Chain A
Amino acid sequence: MEKIELTRNPFIKTALKSRYPQLAVFIVMLVGYIFAILAGLVGTPVGSHNFSIVFVWIAWWAILILVAVPFFGRGWCAVCPIPLPGEWLQRGAILAPPDKKPKWLNRRWPRALRNIWLQNISFLLLALFSSVLLTTPNITGIVLAAMLFAAIGLSIVFERRSFCRYLCPVGGFIGLYSQTAPLELRIKDKKVCAACEGKPCYNGSAEGYGCPWDVFPGGLTKNSYCGLCMECIRTCPFDNIAVNARPFSADLAKPSARMDEAFKAFIMLGSAMIYAGVLLGPWGTLKDAAYNVGTTAWFIYAAVFLSVIFIVMPSFFALCVTRFENIDRFKKRFATLSTALIPLGLMFWVAFSLSFVLTNASYILASLSDPLGLGWNLFGTANLAWQPMLTSILAPGQTLALVGGLIWSGRTAQKAAKEATVSPVPVIVYCFIVTLAMLWLLI
Chain B
Amino acid sequence: MRSYLLLLLFAMAGLVVAFAPLPVLVIAPQERTFRIDARQFAYSPSELAVNPGDHITIQLVSTDVVHGLYIDGYDVSAEADPGQTATLTFTADKQGSFRFRCNVTCGAMHPFMIGKLTVGTNDWLLRSAGLAVIAILGVFILVKRN
Residues in chain A within 8 A of chain B (CB atoms): 46-49, 131-132, 135-136, 278-285, 287-288, 291, 356, 359-360, 386, 388, 391-392, 394-396, 398-399, 402-403, 406-407, 410-411, 414, 423-425, 428-429, 432, 435-436, 439-440, 443
Q: Are B143 and A47 in contact (CB under 8 A)?
A: no
CA distance A283 to B41 in the complex (A): 10
* B70 and chain A: residue at smallest CB distance: A388
Residues in chain B within 8 A of chain A (CB atoms): 18, 39, 41-44, 46-47, 70, 72-73, 96-97, 99, 101, 103, 105, 108-116, 122, 124-125, 127-129, 131-132, 135-136, 138-140, 142-143, 146
Known A284-B44, A414-B146: A443·B125 in contact at CB below 8 Å:
yes
Q: Are B132 and A439 in contact (CB under 8 A)?
A: yes
CA distance A360 to B129 in the complex (A): 27
Q: Are A46 and B132 in contact (CB under 8 A)?
A: no
Q: Are B139 and A440 in contact (CB under 8 A)?
A: no
Q: Are B111 and A359 in contact (CB under 8 A)?
A: yes
Instruction: For B122, list chain A residues within 8 Å (CB).
Output: 443
Q: Are A406 and B116 in contact (CB under 8 A)?
A: no
CA distance A172 to B124 in the complex (A): 34
Instruction: For A288, list chain B residues within 8 Å (CB).
Output: 41-42
B130 to chain A, nearest CB (A): 10
The secondary-structure label for the interface of chain A is helix
Q: Are A435 and B114 in contact (CB under 8 A)?
A: no
Instruction: For B146, list chain A residues within 8 Å (CB).
Output: 414
Instruction: For A131, list chain B residues within 8 Å (CB).
Output: 109, 112
14 A-B Cβ contacts within 8 A?
A: A47-B108, A48-B110, A48-B111, A280-B114, A282-B47, A287-B109, A395-B97, A396-B18, A399-B127, A399-B131, A403-B135, A406-B132, A436-B132, A439-B129
A8 to chain B, nearest CB (A): 32
Instruction: For B18, list chain A residues within 8 Å (CB).
Output: 396
CA distance A171 to B117 in the complex (A): 38
Q: Are B114 and A428 in contact (CB under 8 A)?
A: no
Q: Are B128 and A399 in contact (CB under 8 A)?
A: yes
- B112's partner among A49, A279, A425 (CB-CB below 8 A) is A279
CA distance A443 to B43 in the complex (A): 19
Instruction: For A281, list chain B residues within 8 Å (CB).
Output: 114, 116
